[in-house]
A and B are shown apart, each in its own frame.
Chain A
Amino acid sequence: MLRDITIGQYFPGNSLIHRLDPRFKIVITLIYILMLFTGSNIICLAVGGVYTIAALLLSRIPFKMFWKSVKPLLPFLLLTAVLNVLLVDSGDVYFKWKFIKITAGGVNISVFMIIRIVLLIMGSSLLTYTTSPITLTDAIERLLSPLKLLRFPVHELAMMMSIALRFVPTLIEETDKIMSAQKARGAEIDTGSFVTRAKNMISILVPLFISSFRRADELATAMECRCYNGGEGRTRLRQLKASARDFIALAVTLLFYAGALTVGLLFK
């Protein structure tokens, strides 16, 4: 159950997308999101769709993995789609029975919205699937570095993010272990009434909290032993260097964005 979590999962590889500079990948993803949300009709989305499919293919990550990231959100998607179909009242009437009324406008909006959100999830999963968490936080630190002038603790924020990401799998494993240990003592976690289950959650949460604090303490000591004292004057093992292909990727993305905008204006 816990092993199905895909947030922040990274699939090592050596495709074009994997090799792009992470800073550019973040900027490109932001432009991509803008493209999806400024697109006002289905043809704009088609442009976005072509772009997404091309990027997914270039990453050489099995399509199944992208489906996996969309799957948990399907119930919400379907629910909002159904509400849209039933509540939006515009255009030709397809079907009418008592108070239920299905119109062309409602169907259009539902389809449009589903496609937009599915594309959004797939595109942004591509970022985390092809970029290791460490490089991702490195890139965020670099992109936010202008904020240092405003005394915003950019380095500390990035360090906290990398530590948090680093410990997600560790804590999942730990939770699994503690759950097994308490089940072995007869705690009802998957079965039993809601109240017993809630009560038994305490037997998992308390040890989990304690071990998180212990780990944090040990990590802090280990970092101090290696003379860590913040970002001041710290150099990096991996230097981020933008190359021609990063600029080409950015240009292609901007081109698609411009294309989507023009298409949107042409077919009102």
Chain B
Amino acid sequence: MAILETRQLTYTYSIGSPFEKTAVDHVDLKIEEGEMVGVMGHTGSGKSTLIQHFNGLLRPTSGTVLLDGKDIWADKKSIRDVRFQVGLVFQYPEYQIFEETVFKDIAFGPRNMGLDEQEIKRRVLETAHDIGLKEELLKRSPFELSGGQKRRVAIAGVMAMEPKVLILDEPTAGLDPAGRDKIISHIKEYHKRMKNTILIVSHSMEDIAGFADKILVMNKAKLFCYDDTEKVFGRAAEISEIGLDVPQITKVFMELKRQGLDFGKEVYTVPYARDLLLKHLRGKAGAEDC
């Protein structure tokens, strides 16, 4: 059974005013447990509105959101539990930090869940480790940290709730390439430990190609496609048509294919491309030796 499902999900902003706008239009979606999903789409394509439905911050205008097969709005009082099960990290999450110490800030979510001190401590230490924050940092004030460290503290604050589904809205926005890779690899590590479902919104095709099992593409308030990474990047022409891009390495291989060198599958990560090319060149060299 899908962990997260939407049925004919529709959301319209400012109904009845001149600013009325449908941001999510009849979206049907099924996300299976344990998947790493990349979410792509233009600014204003409705992806941010869509993800705010998954933890009940927004209530659908029509349609339903199902978590573990249950309508999250069936009982209004249980919506807070939904937020503990579906963790949402907003864009630039470092602006939500408010506690005196890093430890306390990460513990805010778990404490709201009503866990005991021991369990809170375990979770804070484990997530701090997962996200690459050294233990001595936990006693410091979060406002003394660097931008990248603050970002990781804020992400850890949601991770520590150990949600079944973790959603991150552009976790790497505004960071340098080294900081970006670090955050993505830490998230992957956490995924490996928790085996939960993770959705990451990103504008970097290279980032998405590096982690995603599946890709969800939104276009003009509608679900454009939701499929395996390979299949989505295989539709490069359509993807470019709606103004998005495929990874550069995929473009190189599409051009190679056009010029007659076909590897028979979609290539979207650099290490894989390197192996494929090396194998091909060695094979060729071997053939010439004979």
Contact = CB atoms under 8 A, between A and B. Distances in A.
B109 interface: yes
Contacts of A244: none
5 contacts: A181-B95, A186-B113, A187-B108, A188-B80, A207-B96
Nearest to B90: A181
Interface in A3-22: none
A-B pairs, 9 with minimum CB distance = A186-B112, A206-B98, A181-B96, A185-B109, A184-B88, A181-B90, A203-B98, A207-B98, A180-B57
Interface residues of B, number: 23
A186 B84 contact: yes
A191 B161 CA distance: 20
Majority DSSP secondary structure for residues of B touching A: helix
Interface string A12-39: 0000000000000000000000000000
Given A180-B57, A187-B108, 13 more contacts: A178-B95, A184-B55, A184-B57, A185-B96, A185-B157, A186-B113, A186-B161, A187-B112, A191-B80, A203-B96, A203-B98, A206-B98, A207-B98
A188 B112 CA distance: 9
Given A184-B158, A185-B158, A186-B161, A202 B98 contact: yes
Interface in B89-122: 89-90, 93, 95-98, 108-109, 112-113
Nearest to A185: B109
A211 interface: yes
A202 to B, nearest CB: 7
Contacts of A174: 95
A79 interface: no
Contact of A184 (B83, B95, B113, B143): B83
A182 B112 CA distance: 10
A178 B161 CA distance: 18
A166 interface: no
Interface string A182-203: 1111111001000000000011
Interface string A150-175: 00000000000000000000000010
Contacts of A207: 95-98
B90 A203 contact: no
B87 interface: yes
A211 B97 CA distance: 11
A185 B80 contact: no
A183 B59 CA distance: 14
B52 interface: yes
A177 B90 contact: yes
Given A203-B108, A210-B143, A184 B98 contact: no
A186 B98 contact: no
Interface in A232-247: none
